[in-house]
Amino acid sequence: MNTDKLELYISEAEIQEKITEYAQKLNTIYQGKTLHCIGIMNGALFFMSDLLRNLNTFIVMDTISVSSYLDGKSTDEIVFNKHITKTITGQDVLLIEDIIDTGKTLDVVVEELKKLKPASLRIVCLADKPDCHPKPRFEYDYLFALKNEFVVGYGFDYNDKYRQLKGIYIYKGE
């Protein structure tokens, strides 16, 4: 793997610190409740995994898979590759996403989940690029605000490369 084209943006330690802080917030909000956690795959896998290991409440896990990128560029077409398999009607739901870039993918997923009538729907993203999208039609939490840079690592990828890096890096191209 060629890492010469990568510049460290957010360290593993910084990521883990923010995840621990956010998990403490969720532990307070959902104390004594069951939380249905839905990760948007594949990007949210590492974030979801680390976040859920820090929760002290009961959880039910599920995943949804959507795609809208090809060769590092948005296609403007949202494709559902896998829908959730568990019932969320009347349940407290946490939707876990890796990044809000254009916001289009998350917008479509949120609308789909709302149709299933959860009791509550909280959205958390590891990262947000606020300069890259209009204000979403829903509220969400995020751990890091990023500049308009293409990033890889900790779930973010370029054509499925670099996801497993422990930090987040600015990708300088191949």
- Which of 92, 98, 101, 157 is the catalytic position? 101
Beta strand residue intervals within the chain, DSSP E? 6-10, 34-41, 58-70, 73-82, 92-100, 120-128, 141-145, 151-152, 168-171
Please enumerate in sequence order all residues whose Cβ is within 8 A of that of 139, keeping only pairs 6 or more positions apart, or say none.
123
Please confirm, yes or no, whether 101 is among the known catalytic residues: yes
121 Cβ contact list (under 8 Å, min separation 6): 93, 95, 110, 113, 114
**Bridging pattern class, strands 168-171 and 6-10:** antiparallel
Annotated catalytic sites, by residue? 101
